[in-house]
Amino acid sequence: MDLQVSFLDRLFDAGLLIETGVDGLYGRSGQFEDVIAAFERLIDKVGGADGAEAMRFPPGMNRAFFETSGYMKSFPQLAGTVHSFCGNELDHMSLLKCMEVGDEDWTKGQEATDIVLTPAACYPLYPTVARRGNLPAGGGLFDLQSYCFRHEPSKDPARQQLFRMREYVCMGTEQHVTDFRQLWMDRGVEMMKSVGLDVTIDIANDPFFGRAGKMLVNNQRDQNLKFELLIPITSVAQPTACMSFNYHQDSFGLKWGLNLEDGSVAHTACVGFGLERIALALFHTHGLDVKEWPEHVRATLWG
Ligand code: ATP
Ligand code: ZN
Ligand code: MG
């Protein structure tokens, strides 16, 4: 715990992260961003020949799609919705009065908009691809990056509320998408080694909510649906997940009506890079001054 606070404080002191007064909500310095940009170029280099279709969505998604995704069933504790003032001038007057007096919650009158904060970079993709009709022969491969929101405030700099996820998503047969996932597990380990990071891979689960969630956790682990690539950031004993490798079976295919060329239901898998976590792992491992990083690491990142 103390260690976590001090790494966060050191990051603030070095100016790499910029305090906002909210745990898990930080600005980033130019240097921090430069590390993320360099690592993303490495991702481009490793994945570039695969011919993934790139798409970039903003960090908010269509609320109707979010509702269909079932996110509120599994992770209600993490979701963030966008609400706005939709009243008339009279409502505005009472809003301002409420804010001035300060004894009542001024946000109570805010109304839900059609936008929800994106919880994972791949969420807006499935309905977008489903709308196109059947996938072409060979399935689908997509390259995504987005800021994501999760309501999990923490003093651990590796657990932020707004952070970026780079993802590749594969749609195809079971064999095709599980091969894709294995390929990226191998690539992930190699990539992290190439920038001097210590990695382990382990089976993992998502934090499904409540008692019913326990069953989903057990099912996910029993069926090897989620793996994580772990790197020490704030603790060596409990390294942090910097990548995840998820096999959804045909659950998203069924949910969104994603079909292969022959009309059968698509299986899907996604691999996610936690970009802030990877940058933090680099700063933790090689020090806060990029100029002091090992030459081979600098060469891999900046050529
Ligand atoms: P954790 O178990 O640490 O909560 P997760 O299983 O929720 O991670 P995923 O949902 O698989 O993570 O998200 C993909 C990647 O995004 C993770 O491997 C991680 O690198 C990154 N990530 C997830 N949550 C956060 C967060 N709160 N802050 C920064 N990065 C995150
Ligand atoms: Zn995903
Ligand atoms: Mg999590």
Predicted local distance difference test score (pLDDT) of residue 94: 94
Residue identifier of the C-alpha nearest atom 22 of ligand 1: 274
Residue with CA nearest ligand 1 atom 14 = 272
In the chain, where the domains are located: 7-79+119-302, 81-117
pLDDT at position 3 = 53
Alpha carbon of 106 to those of 20, 51, 83, 95, 143: distances in Å?
21, 49, 12, 6, 40
Q: Identify which of 156, 271, 277, 282 to mutate to test ligand 1's pocket (most ligand atoms within 8 A of the CB).
A: 277
pLDDT given for residue 2 in this prediction: 52
C-alpha 227/C-alpha 241 separation (Å) is 9
With CA atoms as reference, report the closest residue to 154 among 256, 18, 25: 25
Task: List helix spans (H) across the chain.
Answer: 2-13, 30-47, 63-69, 71-74, 89-101, 125-130, 174-194, 210-222, 251-256, 275-286, 295-302
Task: Tell me how far apart the alpha carbons of residues 243 and 238 are, in angstroms, rounded to a whole number.
Answer: 15
Cα 273 to ligand 3 centre (Å):
13
Strand partners, 55: 144
Q: 10 Å Cβ neighbour count for 275? A: 22
How many angstroms separate the CA atoms of 283 and 232, rounded?
Answer: 11
Q: Which of 171, 170, 175, 167 lies closest to 243, judged by CA? A: 167
Q: Is the ipTM of this complex over 0.90?
A: yes
Second CATH level (architecture) for the domain 7-79+119-302: 2-Layer Sandwich (3.30)
Query: Would you say how long the chain is, in residues?
Result: 303
Token pair for 51: 């011919």
- Tell me if residue 37 falls in helix, strand or coil: helix
> Which residues, given as ranges, of the chain have pLDDT below 70?
1-5
**Ligand index nearest the alpha carbon of residue 156:** 1
Nearest to 167 by CA among 52, 292, 62, 249: 52
pTM given for the model: 0.96
Predicted local confidence at residue 103, as pLDDT: 85
pLDDT tens-digit readout, 153-191: 999 999 999 999 999 999 999 999 999 999 999 999 999
Residue 6, pLDDT score: 86
What would the two tokens of residue 46 be? Answer: 């490793």
Dump pLDDT digits (tens) for 87-114: 999 999 999 999 999 889 999 999 999 9
How, if at all, do strands 53-55 and 226-231 pair? unpaired
Q: Which of 4, 165, 203 to mutate to test the pocket of ligand 1 (most atoms within 8 A of CB)?
A: 165
> What pLDDT is stored for residue 200 in this prediction?
96
Pocket lining for ligand 1, CB < 6 angstroms: 120, 150, 152, 158-160, 163, 165, 206, 228, 241-244, 272, 274, 276-277
Compute, in angstroms, the gap from residue 30 CA to the centroid of ligand 1: 23
- ∠ at Cα 195 (30, 294), nearest 5°? 80
- Give the three-class secondary structure for 17: strand
